[in-house]
Amino acid sequence: MSRFKGVMLMQLMAAFALFFSGGKAQAQDDVRGLYNAVMLHEGTDFYQFAKITLRTVNISGQLKVSANVKVLFGDWDSNEYLTYEYPDVPLNLLTRELSIREDGNDVSMIGTLRSGVIEGEWFSTQQGRVGTFRAQKTGVPAAPRDGILVKTLSGFYRGSLVNTNPQSNLPERVTMSFVTTQDSSPDGAPVIRISGNARFYLGSFDSLEYVETPFTNIQFNFYTRYLTAKTQDYGLTFKGTMAPDGRFDGILLSDGLGNVATVAVAAYP
């Protein structure tokens, strides 16, 4: 009798799985949905995550597709991301090719949808073709084995400063900290707000002998990785490139003296 029960139980479980798998399969085949994407920077080892949301509506038998693409900087749960809206995504019936682009958006993507997977190429207005991407509804695409995830800007960076102007004698130890937050532009579009501080250490990095000044204006191009940050006090401006691995190399400018130093910091720890 127990054996009978065991068989019945297995049959019930199989039916249960079949029921849900069928539904899951159908959802898998829908165009709409959230696709988790891995976006490769071709020619480098860098990659980013992205979330592509496709929305569909049927108007008089014509399927209208729109999309929202969230390009992440950092991990899947990073709050540092750029969001782009695409109100009209043409879907080719024959090839199921999607064209995710919109004037005014820095990022565009051309891919082919097949069995719940979109594969294709992505582009930026500054760089042109960036590389390939793969987006899928279920699970996440595998990241390149030796790939380097593009880090967030947020974090603490410390490094060295070398005075290059005979009239400046800034401390040789400097830290920068950045915090990114999501905000909305006046037109409602989501934007990343970056704030942070700079510290000039007269003593050692762990001492209290430092002068700290907040940044009043931080500009960071997530794609060129070019960063400018102006301090509130002392009229200093950091300019340089924040590499995807968190290393910043740049110069320090003074409102009065001009180029006063070079700066090299790295994410810490």
Partner 1 sequence: MRFLQIMLVSVILAFLTTGCAKKSMSERDTRREQLRLNAHKKRLEIQPLAGNYRGVLKEAGGSQQEISLHLEMKDIPETEGGQVDPVLIPTVSGALNLTYGSGTSLEQISFGTTKADYNAAESRLDVIVSNSAYSDINMTLVRDGDKLSGSWSSPSTSLSGVVELTRTEKLNLGGDSQSLGGTYSGFFLWADKEWYTAGQLTLTTAQDGVDNFHVTGSLKVTLPGSPAPETFVYEYDTVEFNPLSRQVTIRSEASDVYFTGQHNGGVISGQWFSRRIGLIGTARFGRSAAEAPSDKTQASSASGSWFGTVTNTGTSSQLPEKVLLSFNVVPAKDQPGGLSLVGSSRFYYGPFSSNEYLEYRFESVDYQPFAGKLVAVTQGSPKLTFSIDLATNELSGTISDSSLGLVATFRAGRDVGPDGDGAVTLAGVYRGVFLHEDRGAYQKGKIDIIPSLADDGLKMSAVLTLHLGDIQSGETLIYRFGEPQFNSVTGALTLSLPEHDVIVKGILRNGELTGDWFSTSAGNMGTFSLKKNTGVDAPADFTMLDTLKGTYQGNLRNTSANTNLPERIMFGLITTLDSAAPRGLRVTGNLRLYYGSFGSNEFVELPFESVQFDPYKRIVSGKTSGSLRLTVHGDISTENKITGTLSDDALGQVGEFEVTKNAQ
Residues interacting with partner 1, by CB under 8 A? 26, 29-32, 56-58, 60-63, 93-97, 112-114
Q: Least distance (Å) from partner 1 to the CB of residue 92? A: 8
Name the pairing type of β-strands 155-163 and 148-149: unpaired
CB 116 within 8 A of CB 36: no
How many angstroms separate the Cα of 177 from the Cα of each of 111, 153, 266?
A: 38, 9, 11
Q: Least distance (Å) from partner 1 to the CB of residue 99? A: 14
Nearer to partner 1 by C-beta: 2 or 62? 62
Give phi and psi for 39, each to the nearest 5.
Answer: -110, 120
DSSP 204-262: -TTSS-EEEEEEEEEEE-TTT-EEEEEESSTTEEEEEEE-TTSEEEEEEEETTTEEEEE
CB 96 within 8 A of CB 110: no
Q: Least distance (Å) from partner 1 to the CB of residue 147? A: 28
Q: Least distance (Å) from partner 1 to the CB of residue 91? A: 8
Please count the other Cβ atoms lying within 10 Å of the Cβ belonging to residue 218.
21
Q: Least distance (Å) from partner 1 to the CB of residue 131? A: 22
CB 259 within 8 A of CB 166: no
CB 128 within 8 A of CB 224: no
Please count the other Cβ atoms lying within 10 Å of the Cβ belonging to residue 269.
6
Nearer to partner 1 by C-beta: 86 or 200? 86
Helix (H) or strand (E) run with residue 13 in it: helix 2-29
Q: Least distance (Å) from partner 1 to the CB of residue 49? A: 25
User: Cα separation of 263 and 240, whole Å?
Assistant: 8
109 - beta bridge partners? Answer: 100, 122
Q: Least distance (Å) from partner 1 to the CB of residue 66? A: 13
Nearer to partner 1 by C-beta: 100 or 170? 100
Nearer to partner 1 by C-beta: 138 or 167? 138
Nearer to partner 1 by C-beta: 96 or 158? 96
Q: Least distance (Å) from partner 1 to the CB of residue 118? A: 12
CB 78 within 8 A of CB 63: no
